[in-house]
Chains A and B, each alone.
Chain A
């Protein structure tokens, strides 16, 4: 069971505070979508609106083409997996998982076989008579997943489900979640503030900030072609250089910056409505800084910089480069390159990978 989720012009206010500001979103049936943003960005509020726990101040929610804005949680084809798991403390695992089926009036036999099936799906078939307090955090998380899936929801809503787990377990559970989602094909909408988690599991990431959708797309498109400065900065490390559009000519734009003037292909502008004299941010990822021995033609040279600090990170070395404008830029350079503190080095960037964003 699965369904498309459409959110149309949804706004929500808590008193004077605008938690959601005119959200429009479509999430395809059977996809794994992640709502990503810092705390207070409105992602949990949006999830509550989807689950039916909150009635939005304005706008509507559609599941599989039907308006469900006024449908209460109990009757909605969504189930929520809560951040604190919210397992029923007085019931064993099979009763927890079978609760939704009990509410549907299914027979005890049906319930037991379905909950056994789901506990097997999450690898807890041997613990069906245990109580939640006998389980570890990761196991509770699995039970919560099994319980939510037992009622065959069209859409599963996951509210930071991995937040309480330690790093290693979290990475493991990400893979499991993704595998389960592939297997059953239900639409998953997952809330997190961890961009690595988002990239690890999502088919589609929706970046939110201050109650608005900043950016949406595949992990690749958001990482490589972010549409806003916030999105660029939130999805991993980004170097930002202040600039101004000098001129447009055919497919080439010329930008003036504190580190000199250079030209870029127009494709670097993700915003279509960029004009001459607009203030922009030139954005490049640390790994797009070219190594000294890289002879690629297609590059932008930002002049000489001084290496103010470097650290070895295993797969790469991370350098802080102090440029002429007095600002520090981060470069991830190959481990093979010999770099010394205080040495001088040219800051060259693969021009294909540069993104020009409206400031």
Chain B
């Protein structure tokens, strides 16, 4: 490989280094998004770690039981069509208040709602390969109140 190629490869590798950068500790959002221009949105929507945590909670809180991939079209979250709007604040409101029977507002903490919203809004960008990989990655974790043993 030419030195130029190596440099490009190195740059590509390092470009991903800040993908998961985040502050740790108790500095999470305590309030819901104020609108689609809320300055906190980027820290969740553009952050690979926050999106992946969103996926975990999505399964743990049982969301994937109804919104399974390849499920009925009206519950399909992967097609990029949003019945109640696709902005961050709109999707957040759909998750938190759109399921009154589940009482998510009280059952899911605010930061977890931010993460789940970021994940749900990330879904339409997933390729088939990524969907399969994520499915395999999370096979050993709980879905709502069911857990089927380690992978």
Q: Do chains A and B stick together as partners?
A: no
